[in-house]
Chains A and B, each alone.
Chain A
């Protein structure tokens, strides 16, 4: 696991049925591209988050392939229609095999 990785997610606690809610996500990660060299001319190995997945009650909402050009602390903001109360799960996949997960529930009134 890379240092200082911390997922952050903002989901409204409540929503109306069928309403499109705005979801903000950010994961702190250095996102080393693999293109840079250190002081001695050696290539610094690539270390990025390469995939980001969002599910709602087991149904896929978002599946993103992330490439090395994405900058530090990748931030994704998107809208999702929420048909019923349930739980969003967010999963980030690191190059080193680590998987970071977090979830947030939302109540539909």
Chain B
């Protein structure tokens, strides 16, 4: 009798701690393919005034979703990355060239994603710009659609080369005005619901917004395979989705506003590992 009693008390205690644990990021460690250790929690960069510790969105997801990112074989994004790897050496456009005509292989881009977006010739440039820019100037090929799977597969393939490296984008010098613009957007309340990015992802991360467990809105895992949409999702697509949900008119994918926001949000993840391509709910 006593044994049964003890057991039921233990179960209650366990249930309680699970509920409490759910309120914040969990304590799981992300090690990919049993070898690549990822930083999913670290001290916030100096420019962040209201947050001490930054967490990868992976830490806010359920165990089942987390498991999909632990093994590349289970990560559905890798199918799109494989397609992009084939496209890397496929000739396209009027010049008869492929990516592989100039670049030895995707490995050449190790570290690039960790430092993007960056300012080149006075313009803030994101990965999609680099890809479409080279397609137009070098290959004479049609631009890829911003959030299409060909584009995001290529962004993910390049990002994969930096996986495990800490995000480290520059926010000073030439980047400063863009960064300020991005910060302004981050803290501006949009839409009929009057929500800013910070309303959810800074003031309320760890809480539930209806059925959704709010993360800090980090973008270190983008492009991300979203189970809800069953495909790779671009950063700008997610920005647009969030602003749309505030019932606002949104900025367009590939707009200067979203470039600036991308720089600012990426800088909030300085120190976290690049997780591209991540898997989320």
Contact = CB atoms under 8 A, between A and B. Distances in A.
Contacts of B251: none
Contacts of A28: 79, 82
Contacts, number: 10
A73 B79 contact: yes
Interface in A1-20: 4, 6, 8, 10
A4 B83 contact: yes
B187 interface: no
A24 B82 contact: no
Contacts of A73: 79
Nearest to A10: B73
Contacts of A26: 73
Interface string B64-102: 000000000110000100110000000000000000000
A26 B73 CA distance: 9
A8 B83 contact: no
Contact of A24 (B73, B79, B83): B73
Secondary structure of the A side of the interface?
strand
Nearest to B72: A10
A78 B74 CA distance: 14
A10 B83 CA distance: 19
Interface string B41-80: 0000000000000000000000000000000011000010
B73 to A, nearest CB: 5
A26 B71 CA distance: 14
A45 B73 CA distance: 30
Nearest to A4: B83
Interface in A43-98: 73
A25 to B, nearest CB: 9
A8 B82 CA distance: 11
A28 B82 CA distance: 10
A28 B153 CA distance: 15
A73 B73 CA distance: 13
Contacts of A6: 82
Nearest to A28: B79
B32 to A, nearest CB: 14
Nearest to B80: A28
A4 B90 CA distance: 13
Contacts of A8: 73
6 contacts: A6-B82, A10-B73, A24-B73, A26-B73, A28-B82, A73-B79
Interface of B: 73-74, 79, 82-83
Given A8-B73, A26-B73, A73-B79, 7 more contacts: A4-B83, A6-B82, A10-B73, A24-B73, A24-B74, A28-B79, A28-B82
Q: Which 10 A-B pairs have the closest CB atoms?
A: A10-B73, A24-B73, A28-B79, A6-B82, A73-B79, A4-B83, A8-B73, A26-B73, A28-B82, A24-B74
